[in-house]
A and B are shown apart, each in its own frame.
Chain A
Amino acid sequence: MSDVIKQYPAKPARVYFYATCLVDLFYPEVGLAGIQLLEREGIEVIFPQHQSCCGQPAYTSGLNGQARTVAASQLELFPENWPVVVPSGSCAGMLRKHYPRLFAGTGLAEQAEQLAGRTWELTDFLLHVCRIRLQDHGEPVKVAVHTSCSGRREMGIADTGPALLAQLDNVELVQQARPAECCGFGGTFAVRHPEISAAMVEDKARALDDCGADQFVSTDCGCLMNIDGFADKQKLATRGQHVVSFLWQRSKGGTA
């Protein structure tokens, strides 16, 4: 984790919003919540047309050529030197940590490095760049946090979700067993090794279900789809939501 050394910029006037493909197709409310949270902080949010996927599924499958084709189409969406904010630790990690490696030695290397340097995960950006202050308008609730592995280890955001929840007066943070353990999603891993993935998500969903939380929040839609999909099929009581939707729901209607 010492590898994650971050120099936060001053709060900018404008940011690019990179929604990610899972948010676009399956969790659009997360994207809207993220945009609204940023706008409430007085930031103009630019949503580049033509954004799709960061290329991570191909990259983690070892298909560098395909990943590069998709990633190259995304690289050109952010021409101005504004921060790129992503509501996902995993996709932010792809832009920040893996684009430089993917494009090393190509004509796009400099552009990839430049983009990597201004890519931020959304909760990190809200907490440390916007220095957001959240006011809670919700009922008392107990919440557990699942931080994605790439969020935790590539983006160094293990503490940002809990820190934001701590600003909400009626939210009690509950600790699950083995919080740092992977949920078993891993992109195509869940399809290539379904039994191992199932054993992992079962343990994760049950840890969240057993910890006394009313619900859990996650920083990544991939983990959410995995854990919540399992909880739904097994009819577990504790269900999940993206942390950004949760923060917006609790705090909309007033700012401190």
Chain B
Amino acid sequence: MSTATDAVKHFTPRARAALDNPAVRGNFRKAMDGLMSKRQDAFADWDLEELRELGAAVRLRALSRLPELLEQLERNLQANGIQVHWAQTGEQACEIVRDICVARNARTVIKGKSMVSEEMELNAFLARSGIEALESDLGEYIIQLADEAPSHIIMPAIHKNTTEISELMHEKTGTERSSDVDYLTASARAQLREKFMQADVGVSGVNFAVAETGTLCLVENEGNGRLTTTVPGCHIAVTGIEKVVEHLADIAPLLALLTRSATGQHITTYVNMISGPRKTDEKDGPEEVHLVLVDAGRSAIYQDRELLDTLRCIRCGACMNHCPVYTRIGGHAYGTTYPGPIGKILMPHMLGLDNTGSLATASTLCGACAEVCPVKIPIPQLLQRLRSEAMDGDPQRPATVAGHGSKRRWLEMLLWRGWTVFNSRPWAYRLGTALITRCRRLMPSRLGAWTRYRSAPRPAAQSLQQQLRQRQCKES
């Protein structure tokens, strides 16, 4: 994970670079504006609050029974002929995928979009074992050509405009330069189609895993997910352990929320319900289907009653689409697999608070994310919790998140101690405000970062309390 942690430590310079890049800012602003309005239109005929309540309830119910549901899921998947594997870490999950590939003498893997596989850094791992993994989701295909990470969990290449994509495809695949999106898409499709036919193994993610029926639900728009999971002789699905739901009926509200929140679609072009490998009387489908259930820090989050709300997430990306910080700096500035608000509350668990730099503080706590979250994750509250974990100086308190207390700095704590005395002792406040108002003209006109962009605030000649005391004297 060293590359991942190095990247996130450079959050501030990356954010600065993004802010200074008008193309990046323009691409994100335009895309996010479009996504926000599409989402709003898609929910126009719904009682959204009621639906969000339902979505949150479904996820909470599943999480409240997570251990037993996972066991039920395993039993029912196995009954359906799907082989189940458990991975404590991302690396273990990679090893499981590699071992399945090796057992089948597989040299090429075609991939549907999977954020968990990004989290595992699966492609690089397989490459080291001499196995080529090719992304088949158009956005993932583009960023794989560019050797970049996704900048958004739903639209991984959202940071690139058509011109940049055309140039990239020309350079890497010889596609003729064009501003015609349909032409570029058709060209990518033709190249990918061949790869689908040649691939030995298909790797996909999972949107929901249904415990009661042992079904894997996968939504997508390009048909690449269907091809990935049906054409190669072997399909390996990878997912986080939190994606399990109790009943098949639970899928309905979650799907209604997921696609509308993500892309403003009433339904995706493809909804795949995968219930096992090819049966003896069937003509197509993979001979083998595997599910790799990945923990990678999730069960640690699950131990904490408050933080476990993080695991409700259905990965729609609405929080980033509506985030004023994400919109300004884009996904790459975060340097984490999951960017935006969900990344800020999830990544500290995966990398540790000490390794996630200033991510948790990079929010105004404006609450736009929580307002649109389809499963009502209280993101600002969880950010506050993570900040308090990072600042906590009490060695007696059990550390629930790795890197507990790592952001505590003695100089800052000294300032806060002064602030606390000033605001909790009436004599100090009275003395302090008298000094500040009397010496207001001595206030520096430069106050660090604040006045780089703004005029310095000037204290009043008399504070409100001073004025009210005089008013009282006059009246009595």
Interface assignment of B433: CB less than 8 Å from any CB of chain A: yes
Chain A residues, CB < 8 A from B390: 62
Among B324, B361, B407, B463, the most chain A Cβ lie within 10 Å of the Cβ of: B324
Q: Is the CB of B423 within 8 A of A47?
A: no
Partner of A196, one of B362, B433, B458, B463: B362
CA distance A60 to B436 in the complex (A): 24
Q: Is the CB of B462 within 8 A of A28?
A: yes
Bitwise, B446-463 to A at CB < 8 A (1) or not (0) is: 001111111111111011
Partner of A149, one of B366, B426, B457, B464: B366
Chain B residues, CB < 8 A from A197: 364, 453
Q: Is the CB of B433 within 8 A of A25?
A: yes
Interface assignment of A55: CB less than 8 Å from any CB of chain B: yes
**Looking at the complex, which of A107-115, A122-130, A167-175, A179-187 is the stretch in contact with chain B?**
A179-187
Chain A residues, CB < 8 A from B57: none
Q: How many A-B residue pairs have CB under 8 A?
A: 181
Chain B residues, CB < 8 A from A51: 465
Interface assignment of B3: CB less than 8 Å from any CB of chain A: no
Nearest residue (CB) in B for A190 is: B450
Nearest residue (CB) in A for B52 is: A2
Q: Is the CB of B426 within 8 A of A26?
A: no
CA distance A29 to B460 in the complex (A): 9
CA distance A229 to B453 in the complex (A): 8
Tell me the dominant secondary structure on chain B's binding face: helix
Which parts of A93-139 form the interface with B (CB within 8 Å)?
Answer: 101
Q: Is the CB of A195 within 8 A of B424?
A: no
With A192-B358, A196-B15: A25-B437 Cβ-Cβ less than 8 Å: yes
Q: Is the CB of A149 within 8 A of B364?
A: yes
For residue B30, give the distance in angstroms from its CB to the closest CB of chain A: 13
Q: Is the CB of B454 within 8 A of A195?
A: no
Chain A residues, CB < 8 A from B363: 186, 189
Interface assignment of B42: CB less than 8 Å from any CB of chain A: no
For residue B359, give the distance in angstroms from its CB to the closest CB of chain A: 11
Interface assignment of A209: CB less than 8 Å from any CB of chain B: no
With A1-B371, A25-B436, A47-B468: A62-B389 Cβ-Cβ less than 8 Å: yes
Interface assignment of A52: CB less than 8 Å from any CB of chain B: yes
Q: Is the CB of B420 within 8 A of A193?
A: no
Chain B residues, CB < 8 A from A27: 460
Q: Is the CB of B452 within 8 A of A198?
A: yes
Q: Is the CB of A25 within 8 A of B371?
A: no
Q: Is the CB of A149 within 8 A of B368?
A: yes
Interface assignment of B419: CB less than 8 Å from any CB of chain A: yes
Nearest residue (CB) in B for A154 is: B367
For residue B243, give the distance in angstroms from its CB to the closest CB of chain A: 26
For residue B417, give the distance in angstroms from its CB to the closest CB of chain A: 8
Among B367, B381, B392, B425, the most chain A Cβ lie within 10 Å of the Cβ of: B367
Chain B residues, CB < 8 A from A47: 468
For residue A90, give the distance in angstroms from its CB to the closest CB of chain B: 10
How many chain B residues touch the partner (CB < 8 A)? 65
Which parts of A50-105 form the interface with B (CB within 8 Å)?
Answer: 50-53, 55, 57-66, 69-70, 72-73, 101
CA distance A185 to B459 in the complex (A): 18
Q: Is the CB of A24 within 8 A of B358?
A: no
Q: Is the CB of B366 within 8 A of A199?
A: no
Q: Is the CB of B449 within 8 A of A190?
A: yes
Partner of A201, one of B15, B325, B367, B454: B454
Q: Is the CB of B325 within 8 A of A196?
A: yes
Interface assignment of A207: CB less than 8 Å from any CB of chain B: no
Chain B residues, CB < 8 A from A188: 361
Interface assignment of A42: CB less than 8 Å from any CB of chain B: no
Chain B residues, CB < 8 A from A11: none
CA distance A167 to B363 in the complex (A): 36
CA distance A153 to B379 in the complex (A): 13
Q: Is the CB of B465 within 8 A of A24?
A: yes
Nearest residue (CB) in B for A28 is: B464
Interface assignment of B391: CB less than 8 Å from any CB of chain A: yes
Partner of B362, one of A25, A69, A193, A202: A193
CA distance A35 to B472 in the complex (A): 13
For residue B395, give the distance in angstroms from its CB to the closest CB of chain A: 13
Partner of B464, one of A23, A55, A195: A23
Partner of A182, one of B364, B386, B437, B449: B364
Interface assignment of A7: CB less than 8 Å from any CB of chain B: no
Interface assignment of B387: CB less than 8 Å from any CB of chain A: yes
Interface assignment of B467: CB less than 8 Å from any CB of chain A: yes
For residue B425, give the distance in angstroms from its CB to the closest CB of chain A: 8
Q: Is the CB of A55 within 8 A of B423?
A: yes
For residue A251, give the distance in angstroms from its CB to the closest CB of chain B: 20
Chain B residues, CB < 8 A from A241: none
Q: Is the CB of A2 within 8 A of B49?
A: yes
Q: Is the CB of B367 within 8 A of A194?
A: no
CA distance A197 to B454 in the complex (A): 11
Partner of B459, one of A25, A180, A186: A25
Interface assignment of A145: CB less than 8 Å from any CB of chain B: no
Q: Is the CB of B384 within 8 A of A193?
A: no
Interface assignment of A6: CB less than 8 Å from any CB of chain B: no
Interface assignment of A164: CB less than 8 Å from any CB of chain B: no
Ordered by A's residue number, 7 sampled pairs between the chains whose C-beta atoms are within 8 Å are A26-B460, A58-B419, A150-B365, A189-B365, A197-B364, A200-B364, A230-B453
Name the 8 nearest CB pairs between A and B, nearest first. Answer: A186-B364, A62-B387, A229-B454, A194-B449, A182-B366, A28-B464, A149-B366, A62-B388
**Given A25-B437, A61-B416: 5 more A-B contacts, CB < 8 Å:** A50-B429, A53-B423, A150-B365, A189-B364, A194-B448
